[in-house]
Chain A
Amino acid sequence: MTDLAGRKLRVATTSLAGCFGCHMSLLDIDERLFSLLEKIELDRSPLTDIKELGRCDIGIVEGGVCNAENVRVLREFRDRCRTLVAIGACAVTGGLPAQRNHLDLGLCLQEVYKTEPSLSKGLIPDDPELPLPLDKVHPLHEVVKIDYFIPGCPPSADAIWSFLSDLIAGRTPRLGPGLISYD
């Protein structure tokens, strides 16, 4: 499907603090992937080697926000994508990684990397190349405005297919019976 100017829609995807399960569920549309790829052009995504995000029609973000780099990437996606979609439990609520929110991050790092007696030399990784972890894991909408939320861990391939088909065709996406899950 193309937009009014006859151009393929440009779609970017990324995974922040997620497990890639939502990307896998997208691939679970199986052969329908090929018809999807006829209608869209992939921009930055773990499936391509495009590292710089361009101007996009749709941005799909998996995972919550757990460090400074996630914040930067998410803001960039909001800035450059006309429609921004939070896909899966982690993006929508923080998900399982947000279970660490009731723990003290400093103590957690301390315990894992420093006081652990079996390590030959204990130290907390602190190289400037490592983005700073946030003290809490946040759902996407706490950082930027999100246009659509697809719940599920992960949302089923049929849900993703139905959602994208609607969006690409210019309809308001609606997930019908059996397509919304909160597992």
Chain B
Amino acid sequence: MTEAHPLETADRPGLRRVAIDPLTRVEGHGKVTLLLDEEGQVRQARLHIVEFRGFEKFIQGRPYWEVPVMVQRLCGICPVSHHLAASKAMDQVVGADTLTPTAEKVRRLMHYGQILQSHALHFFHLSSPDLLFGFDSEVARRNLVGVAAAYPDLARRGVLLRRFGQEVIRVTAGKRIHGTGSVPGGVNRSVAPGERRTLRAEATRIVDWSRDAVQLARRLFEQNLRTFREFATFPAHSLQLVRDDGALDLYHGGLRARTRDGATIFDHVDYSTYWEQVFEEVKPWSYMKFPYLRALGPEEGWYRVGPLTRVTGCDFIPSPLAEMQRREFLAFDGGSAAKATLGFHWARMIEMLHAAEVIAALLDDEDISGRELTTRGERRGRGVGVLEAPRGTLIHHYRVNEQDMVIRANLIVSTTHNNEAMNRAVREVARRYLDGRRLTEGLLNHVEVAIRAFDPCLSCATHALGQMPLALELVDADGSRLDRLVRD
């Protein structure tokens, strides 16, 4: 057991094993194992990702234009994230440094549609039962069916919010799941004026409902303040993209990292050399790697990504209603929600409101029905595409040879960034709620409540097995750089 990660590895053999298998109401395949001693003290607690796929390996040898369509099959909940991150990387490969206004806006519309549908799904379909009924409420009721019975209007709104996001995706990508709308250098369709009008007519109601959802998230936090502000909470460093002016931007920006105390580690960093900031480590008990900030090293450098990080770490949200909510969130209870793991839910709903506002504005913009769809420029051998997916920073990196074949790929998916943070949340809950007690189903659900706050996409994490680029530096005795070699 290392000091940096207490409870990660048990200090002695012969302990009793308890498993939460499979994790439910999360996306993908994972389990938690606990090892307990005779007194019921938790000695080890781990979140395992139990599958191995190999997408980066088998897309090698495929033509680059297939990649945006192939890699989105990493994940059926956030396919648009992979579709667009791969497209952004391939924009660089085809030399499309500035997209046409139509392409840029249609992609943004697609992306914010996805943020909206994914956040609605997570809050209403997956997490709301814990928050509405209690962490140890009756298992038969703790699901969407139970919510629909107790709060029919709420469940219905959740379904319709998600539906709207999916429809935005359909009109921009061609279909709701695994669409084909984005291509290297732009898009292959724009939004038909009729579809634009239909969606615009609905958008005002969606903004209203999103605002109500923020209020609901706030109310749930307020009602359970003492539990929520402490539950599975710990300080963490952070990583996110921000726009040049520091605004929240989920489609494009520079990398920003801050320490757990809020000090800047780096800011507005060009993501095309992300490997100078982020490295990865393997542990024998999970197929998911453990990334860390190089500046802080493998023990200290773990960090958190996602809605909580983004909403608290940006300088402002560039849409009025969401910005107002962000300020309230930061000020609430002396800032406790902005630090809390369960503050993720509230932050996620603020982002959903922002997405609804962005979508409404884009639907008013005639550019999304324009005809200039793609651009090209000087052909390049590599491309890096990064965006903020619903669950956090998503990195795609490809090398393409002169025959247009992909020869190398590295993907770091959002959930992987949160690997250590989620494990920490599990251990925190184990120590606080499970130690020395008879483990009931309701108590074990506390562990899952902590994991669900991060909205992990374990299926993304399962597929992605990266090959980080390698950078070698030759430094002289004074620490100044003599030479540098990069294999990307």
Contact = CB atoms under 8 A, between A and B. Distances in A.
A119 B281 contact: yes
Contact of A37 (B28, B50, B148): B148
B284 A126 contact: yes
- Looking at B75, B143, B148, the one whose CB has the most chain A CB atoms below 10 A away is B143
A181 B279 CA distance: 41
B58 A100 contact: yes
Interface in B288-313: 289, 298
Interface in A28-46: 28, 30-31, 33-34, 37, 42, 45-46
Contact of B178 (A21, A108, A129): A21
B178 A20 contact: no
B212 to A, nearest CB: 18
Contact of B27 (A20, A112, A122): A20
A120 interface: yes
10 contacts: A20-B27, A21-B177, A49-B142, A120-B279, A120-B281, A121-B282, A125-B285, A127-B285, A129-B50, A133-B51
A99 interface: yes
A116 interface: yes
Nearest to A17: B51
A132 B144 CA distance: 33
Contacts of B285: 125, 127, 129-130
B65 interface: no
Nearest to A122: B282
B280 interface: yes
Given A19-B75, A27-B121, A112-B465, A123 B159 contact: no
Interface string A108-122: 110111001111111
Interface in A1-58: 15, 17-25, 27-28, 30-31, 33-34, 37, 42, 45-51
A103 interface: yes
Interface residues on A, range: 35 or more
A45 to B, nearest CB: 8
Contacts of A109: 52
Contacts of A37: 145, 148
B133 to A, nearest CB: 11
B177 A28 contact: yes
Contact of A19 (B21, B76, B144, B298): B76
A46 B28 CA distance: 9
Interface of B: 20-22, 24-29, 31, 33, 46, 48, 50-55, 57-58, 70, 73-77, 79, 121, 125-126, 139, 142-145, 148, 155-156, 159-160, 162-163, 166, 175-178, 275, 279-287, 289, 298, 441, 445, 448, 459, 463, 465-470
Given A19-B76, A24-B177, A183-B178, A48 B143 contact: yes
Contacts of B21: 51
Contact of A112 (B57, B79, B125, B178): B57
**Most chain B CB inside 10 Å of its own CB: which residue of A19, A131, A157:** A19
A66 B53 CA distance: 8
Contacts of B58: 99-100, 102-103
A19 B80 CA distance: 13
A94 B180 CA distance: 21
A179 interface: no
Contact of B468 (A20, A24, A100, A116): A116
B53 A118 contact: no
Nearest to A154: B177
B370 to A, nearest CB: 27
B53 A30 contact: no
